[in-house]
Amino acid sequence: MIQDLRNGTKTSLSFEVFPPKKEEEFHNIFDRLDDFAKLKPDFISCTYGAGGSKSGKTIEIASYIQNKLHIDAVAHMTCVGFKQADLEQNCAMLQREGIGHVLALRGDRPRDMTDEQFNGREFFYASDMVRYLKAHTQLCIAGACYPEKHPEAENAASDLAHLKQKTDEGVSFLISQLFFDNDSFYRFRERAVQAGITVPICAGIMPITAVGQLGTSITLSGSTVPGKLSDMLEAYARKPEELRKAGVEYAVGQILDLKAHGVDGIHVYTMNRVKTTAEIVAQI
Ligand code: FAD
208 and 179 Cβ atoms separated by less than 8 Å: no
162 lines ligand 1 (CB under 6 A): yes
Q: Going by CA atoms, what residue is nearest to atom 26 of ligand 1? A: 48
- All structural domains of the chain with their residue ranges: 2-283
Q: What is the pLDDT of residues 9-42, one digit of tens each?
A: 789 999 999 999 888 788 899 999 999 999 999 9
Model confidence at 200: pLDDT above 90: yes
pTM (2 d.p.): 0.96
Q: Which of 86, 87, 84 is nearest to 102 (CA)?
A: 87
Mean pLDDT of the chain: 92
Model confidence at 169: pLDDT above 90: yes
As a CATH number, domain 2-283 is 3.20.20.220
76 CA distance to ligand 1 centroid (A)? 12
Q: What is the mean pLDDT of residues 120-142?
A: 96
pLDDT of residue 202: 98
β-partners of residue 221 are: none
Q: What is the pLDDT of residues 227-268, one digit of tens each?
A: 898 888 889 989 999 999 999 999 999 999 999 999 999 999
| Residue with the larger pLDDT of the pair 70 and 215 | 70
d(CA 7, CA 248) in angstroms, rounded, equals: 30
Q: Going by CA atoms, what residue is nearest to atom 47 of ligand 1? A: 108
Beta strands in 179-271 (DSSP E): 201-205, 265-269
126 lines ligand 1 (CB under 6 A): yes
